[in-house]
Chains A and B, each alone.
Chain A
Amino acid sequence: MNTQKTIVTIGAGIAGIESSVALSKLGYRVILVEKDKTIGGKINNYYHLFPNNRPAVDIKNYMDEQCRIHDLTIYKNTEINKVQKKGERFSVTTSNDDILKADALLVATGFEYFNGMQKEEYGYKIYDNVITSIDLEEKLRSGKQITTAQGKEPKRIAFVHCVGSRDEKSGNHYCSRLCCITGVKQAMELNSRFPNSLVYCFYIDLRMYSMEYESLYRSAQEKFGIQFIRGKVSEVSENKEGTLQIKAEDTLSGRPLRMEMDLVVLLVGMVPGQGTEKMKSVAALESNSHGFLESNDWQLHKNSSSQPGIFLTGACNGPMSIDETMEHARSAAFEVHTYLQNHSKHE
């Protein structure tokens, strides 16, 4: 009697939508709750996706279409304020004071970008020519001319890797996994717009964990002439004309560096999203030491949370790419399905 079972999915980013679609295909009734006024979450911020430079809008369109085809119920501008378990069922109170009954919950509350201002030494929001990878993506997406704050074409561009990732001082010890390849993608993108520009990437080490990422990294060096310098940037300061001076160390040659830049891009990491933080208190979900929601079983049931009947999908569980998120979302749907099947047998 699958049709009688209801699942409430919290978060209508790509993880929430894809898993809801899959559950809908399996015959369940799914209610999607989204805090924003639009669906799609972070996919709305991107221009081209690595590794194949596919426009992000493709994914967005696919998501919209799937929602339409499967006629998913979506509550936008809605947050979850309370989760109660009554017997085997959940009672979910929304910010509109609606009470949703569900047989299982799917948490897809995602991630947030690390706040670049917390690394004050890089001067984000203090110096106009320091931007984050998200700002850059937005500029690329909006199709506006990319210039320095002084309206000039950037000739020297620095990408700073691991801003808020693998960084003891910001308290985030983990690797956000995607910033490295984002940096490579964006460096190539800028270099192809400004062929005369010099683009530098300052890294701790580059984590090109997919076959295609490594190929991109290779062509970034060979075809685009992007300079990869192993060493963290220690501080950024502003010159009178508004250009930037960065201090770093080239750990391969063992020398301190001081370089003039027109534009500095901070590759900000991923931190647990606001919704993810909220779910910890609302649904008493456990998190790992990094703040992301903890899987009940890392190897065998990655999608199970610390609470029976509540499942995890997407980046609320940890940093992951779009392709990984899609797999994670589908496996979440299957986990939910298995759980509900077992429960109907007992009834």
Chain B
Amino acid sequence: MPNNLFIYPFLLGILIMLVIIAKRFSKWFIGLSKIDKIRVWKKLRTKNTIYSIREALLEGLLHHKIFKKNPVLGYMHMSLAFGWFLLIVVGHIETIYYYGSISFPFYMPVFFRYFVTGHEFYLSRFFAIIMDFLLLMVLSGVTLAYLKRFLKQPFGMKKTTRLKPGDKIALTSLWCIFPLRFMAESVSAGIHHNGSFLTQTSGNLIEHILPLNAIHTPIWFAYSTALGFFFVALPFSRYMHIPTEIFFIFLKNSGIKLKKHVNTYSQVQVFSCSRCGICLDSCQLNDAGIRNTQSVYVLKKIRDKKLTDEELFNCLLCGKCQHDCPVDIELNNLRITQRIESTLQYNSSYDYLKETKAEKADIVYFAGCMTHLTPAIKKSMVQIFDHAKLNYWFMDEDKAPCCGRPLMQAGQYDAAEKLILNNQKKILDSEAKTLVVSCPICYKVFNEDYSLPGIEVKHHSEYLLELINASKIEVSPLQQTVIYHDPCELGRGSGIYEQPRELLQHTNTLIKIKNEKEKSYCCGGSLANIKIQMDERYKIKDKAVENYRSYNPDILATSCPLCKKTFARDGKLAVHDISELIWMAIEKNEMEKLELNEQLAKVTNPEQFWELEEVPIQD
């Protein structure tokens, strides 16, 4: 048996890593609430576990979400992760074949070509080819990773994350592992002729230039050291995301939700960030020159406990990064939780709101503060309610209470909670079955943070569509072309994409655009950002308006008062809320009916009826 001291760096490294990871995982698990622990435990024994394993493989190894974003970037991640995984798996099978049993030292597959010196065994040639192929695959990934550091464009990324010293050690050792393995296996192949198309060829070449026997053990030692370094550095680098992500997938699939305070589940999410930097590109703060507050940086700062308010609060919470995140981290809620944690809670009093009493009605209408600042929306909604003869209570007509969402976004949880409880009581007291809201910001909080059993919460874009479908209102086409702007809180925030579009198709011609639905712009007006300057907001808005104008629509339609207000400021595009368009279409329909009646009144002879000029009436 040759001197095998060189395996110790690897052994030591992997041992330290496993101990640290085990410690962290158990700490995280213990930190979960009792109910959450039971959730995990119960779900473990269902087929949910199979889904989790499947997802862990699909995401952790194949990176299919990154593939969707950019195939080159996806291949890079896949060849590294999946290639390495297969090297381990196939390496083990090879060793089992060699030994004819499963009892062998566990480091054996890692250093197989050092120890197994050319003995022919069953399928040995075949394994050599496979192993060489897999090594080649990993090496190609490593090469792409080298290139990515210098050229970002082919990877579909304009920016790449900045590295900290801890990551540099891990990254450097990771980059060394496979070239060193290649070198070590080549040297072994040069000596023992146990390689295949890759390592044997290079081994034969090296034989001519280097003293193979002299460098044989040292090069394997270098390989083992690189592995050891990587394993020790892993828990302290961004590569901690690899084990954490798997843990996160299990917890997530058990149905655990983020809380309004920092706990170990939020920590797991923070540590699951691979710092791939995909979230950087879609961030619209780039348009305003803000480049240090994006999710990847904020998560890193949370991990390092170096987060400043400036970074935490300079975010629109538009949710674009969350949509792009290949790991599915709840970036918006994570940030809100962090904001609640980092903010001094003001002891606001909203006692004056208790004075107003609820009115009994079928429908409660909640316009929201922003809608009060865009009264065209409010007026349209009230006119539509009256027109359809609905029994509604305009809850915030007079003393308008806030829904609580802006306070929640600002981290003022206690104040938000007071408003929520007050509003909740009134809504329930009204004994209504439906709550109609005009503002997506309110919509989100009513759905997520209120407890309103038996009451359906509907944004007016959903509700107006229902009214049309139930023939409670009739509309006539308005003959204009529109672009629909998805508000962040309604679209990405609440998944309402189709209803507003369907509604618009009743009245207007909808232009399909590239940046819509999940990819929709944020208007820049978001209440969630309390650090951004006005001129920076304008830059974000201008970019979106510029894009919309390139489609040359008659109208920019939206379903959020804040988006409307932000875009209307520009004056370059006619901006209307969806409710205004519907009211216009109802008025038009009424006019047409009136005209038809007048024409009918003129007809004295019933036979003349068929000679009437055709009047466009919607059926």
Contact = CB atoms under 8 A, between A and B. Distances in A.
A97 interface: no
Contacts of A237: 372, 375, 378, 397
Interface string A109-124: 0000001001011010
A238 to B, nearest CB: 7
A171 interface: yes
A171 B538 contact: yes
B569 A123 contact: no
Interface string B387-399: 0000000000100
A115 B373 CA distance: 16
Contacts of A120: 373-376, 564-565, 568
B113 to A, nearest CB: 69
B379 interface: yes
A121 B373 contact: yes
A236 B374 CA distance: 10
Contacts of B376: 120, 126
B379 A238 contact: yes
Contact of A236 (B375, B564, B565, B569): B375
B400 to A, nearest CB: 9
Interface in A200-256: 234-238
B586 to A, nearest CB: 17
B375 A121 contact: yes
Given A168-B534, A238-B379, A118 B372 contact: no
Interface in A100-148: 115, 118, 120-121, 123, 126-127
Contacts of B378: 237
A281 interface: no
A192 interface: no
Nearest to A234: B373
Q: What bracket does the count of chain A residues touching chain B fall in?
A: 10 to 19
A169 interface: yes
B375 A123 contact: yes
Nearest to B377: A120
B571 interface: yes
A168 B533 CA distance: 10
B534 A169 contact: yes
Contacts of B564: 120
A118 B571 contact: yes
A321 interface: no
Contacts, number: 38
B365 to A, nearest CB: 14
Interface in A136-180: 168-171
A171 B374 contact: no
Contacts of A171: 534, 538, 569
A168 B374 CA distance: 17
Contacts of A118: 568-569, 571
Nearest to B397: A237
Contacts of A126: 375-376, 379
A170 B569 contact: yes
B372 A235 contact: yes
Interface in B226-251: none
A115 B568 CA distance: 11
B525 to A, nearest CB: 10
Nearest to A117: B568
Interface string B359-387: 00000000000001111101100000000
A257 to B, nearest CB: 13
A236 B568 CA distance: 18
A171 B534 CA distance: 8
Contacts of A123: 375
A49 B538 CA distance: 37
B566 to A, nearest CB: 10
Nearest to A237: B375
B375, B397, B538 — most chain A CB neighbours (10 Å): B375
A290 B508 CA distance: 37
A121 B564 CA distance: 12
A121 B400 CA distance: 14
A120 B534 CA distance: 18
Interface in A24-63: none
Nearest to B370: A121
Contacts of A234: 373
A303 B373 CA distance: 41
B519 to A, nearest CB: 27
Interface string B530-570: 00001000100000000000000000000000001100110
A238 B383 CA distance: 13
Nearest to B580: A126
Interface string B278-292: 000000000000000
B379 to A, nearest CB: 6
Interface string B565-581: 10011010000000000
A118, A120, A121, A169 — most chain B CB neighbours (10 Å): A120
A121 B374 CA distance: 5
Contacts of A115: 571
A170 B373 CA distance: 13
A283 B564 CA distance: 34
A245 to B, nearest CB: 8
B569 A121 contact: no
Contacts of A127: 375
Interface in B511-539: 534, 538
Contacts of B372: 121, 235, 237
A170 B375 CA distance: 17
A244 B568 CA distance: 23
A120 B379 CA distance: 12
11 contacts: A120-B373, A120-B375, A121-B374, A121-B375, A126-B376, A168-B534, A171-B569, A237-B372, A237-B378, A237-B397, A238-B375
7 A-B pairs with least C-beta separation: A121-B373, A123-B375, A120-B374, A168-B534, A126-B375, A126-B376, A235-B372
Given A126-B379, A238-B375, 15 more contacts: A118-B568, A118-B569, A120-B375, A120-B376, A120-B564, A120-B568, A121-B372, A121-B375, A126-B375, A169-B569, A171-B569, A234-B373, A235-B375, A237-B372, A238-B379
